Amino acid sequence: MSKFLSNRFKNMQPYRPGIQPHDRDYVKLNANETTLSPSPKVRAALTDALVDGLGRYADPYCLDFRRAVAQAMGVATEEVFVGNGSDEVLAIAFHTFFGDEVPVAFPDITYNFYRDWCTTFDVPFCEIPLLEDFSVDVDALAAFDGHVVLVNPNAPTGMVVPREAIERIMAARSDRLVIVDEAYIDYGGESCVPLIGRHRNLIVVQTMSKSRHLAGAHIGFAIAASELIDDMRDVKFSVNPFNVSALTSAIGIAAIEDAEHLEAFVAENAREREELARELCRRGFHVLPSSTNFVLAKIPKGDAAALTGALKEHGVLVRHYDQNRIRDWLRITVGTATENAALLQALDACLAQGACCPPHPAGGDCAET
């Protein structure tokens, strides 16, 4: 840290994204991205006219893009905020609504960025342990005296939180804000977007990085009551009014309008996910029921960090969290059939070399997935 770093950041806790090494070609199953192309409408949106117009600033109100999102989600344009990835949208929401007065609660096993933002910005927070079966402790969150942040389906478990449970958390206290990060909602679970008319204390955040195959374009949005959206816009205008480029906006509009491709991507992912879960089970892994584009799987025995390292040696990247209760687990992105086969082959090689343990006979927990 330099001697110029502001005191404001003395407790800074930078988020650590999944590694992106370039020393060789990896089968990359550690960051829930995809090698598959986005909707072909995205390419068509990148026109010469768009490039020729890049000398001008894009609309800081992002009206065209917000209209397209509103249309696709069945809400009003005034109820939409768009940003440079849902991480930016979430960070702006945290900045806008969470100070040091009211604490924020989230599950202990969830998207780690929530804790990192709270630590960085000195927002008091409380981590509510997941229940024994890794489901979210809805009663504890409902009873909590403060704001609540959830990701549904939860990450890195992949498990759905029922919508009525989230509604219960909102209804328990109308003076609390509930942020629902729906990064994986297109893969499963019920979106809370239809609830925003009834609940003025709800912010739903979605991303195009996962189900729409656009992590490299980095586009996210929030849906909420217009007074919340106005507050977020004003904070954005106080920091970075042109956060969404003309390119981002054109790509976002093309992608959000292509429901057909989204459906096809999601169906393909579900097929590959079930196959991958079955194959992991056959090898003695315990796989949590996933409604996302990844699985969380407990290794049969041995050291999951060592296995992650051994897989990397074999050219396959997966995610390991050095964190209580999931230290023996791997989070594996569902890849293409070819990528998943490469993972399983590498896994078999690692297991045979004793990096973890010998393959397990079929059986075990397979019925659960």
Instruction: Provide the binding-site residues for ligand PLP, judged by CB under 6 A.
Output: 32, 85-87, 111, 151, 155, 181, 183, 207, 209-210, 215, 218, 220
Strand-pairing partners, residue 104, are 125, 147
For 295, residues 6+ apart whose C-beta sits below 8 A from its C-beta are: 158, 273, 276, 277, 280, 287, 288, 331, 332, 334, 369
Min dist CB 106 to ligand PLP, Å, is 11
Residue 303 Cα distances to 25, 175, 294, 327, 351, angstroms = 25, 45, 20, 8, 11
Give the Cα-Cα-Cα angle 329, 217, 191 (nearest 5 degrees): 60
CA 347 to chain centre: 25
Are 88 and 220 in contact, with CB atoms under 8 Å apart? yes
> What whole-number distance in Å separates Cα of residue 268 and Cα of residue 247?
28
Min dist CB 117 to ligand PLP, Å, is 11
Nearer to ligand PLP, 151 or 287 (CB): 151
Min dist CB 205 to ligand PLP, Å, is 7
Min dist CB 32 to ligand PLP, Å, is 6
> What whole-number distance in Å separates Cα of residue 305 and Cα of residue 320?
6
Nearer to ligand PLP, 159 or 310 (CB): 159
> What whole-number distance in Å separates Cα of residue 69 and Cα of residue 63?
10
Nearer to ligand PLP, 120 or 209 (CB): 209
Min dist CB 359 to ligand PLP, Å, is 30
Min dist CB 86 to ligand PLP, Å, is 4
Nearer to ligand PLP, 112 or 226 (CB): 112
Nearer to ligand PLP, 34 or 207 (CB): 207
Nearer to ligand PLP, 189 or 284 (CB): 189
Strands 178-181, 125-128: pairing kind = unpaired
HSE value, Cβ hemisphere, 13 Å, CA-based, for 345:
10
Nearer to ligand PLP, 121 or 314 (CB): 121
229 phi and psi, to 5 degrees?
A: -60, -40
Min dist CB 57 to ligand PLP, Å, is 23
Min dist CB 335 to ligand PLP, Å, is 16
Three-state DSSP at 260 gives helix
> To the nearest 10°, the Cα dihedral for 40, 245, 73, 142?
130
Which of 217, 227, 187 has the alpha carbon at shortest distance from 81? 227
Nearer to ligand PLP, 32 or 340 (CB): 32
Min dist CB 73 to ligand PLP, Å, is 16
Nearer to ligand PLP, 210 or 283 (CB): 210
> To the nearest 10°, the Cα dihedral for 334, 339, 342, 347?
-20
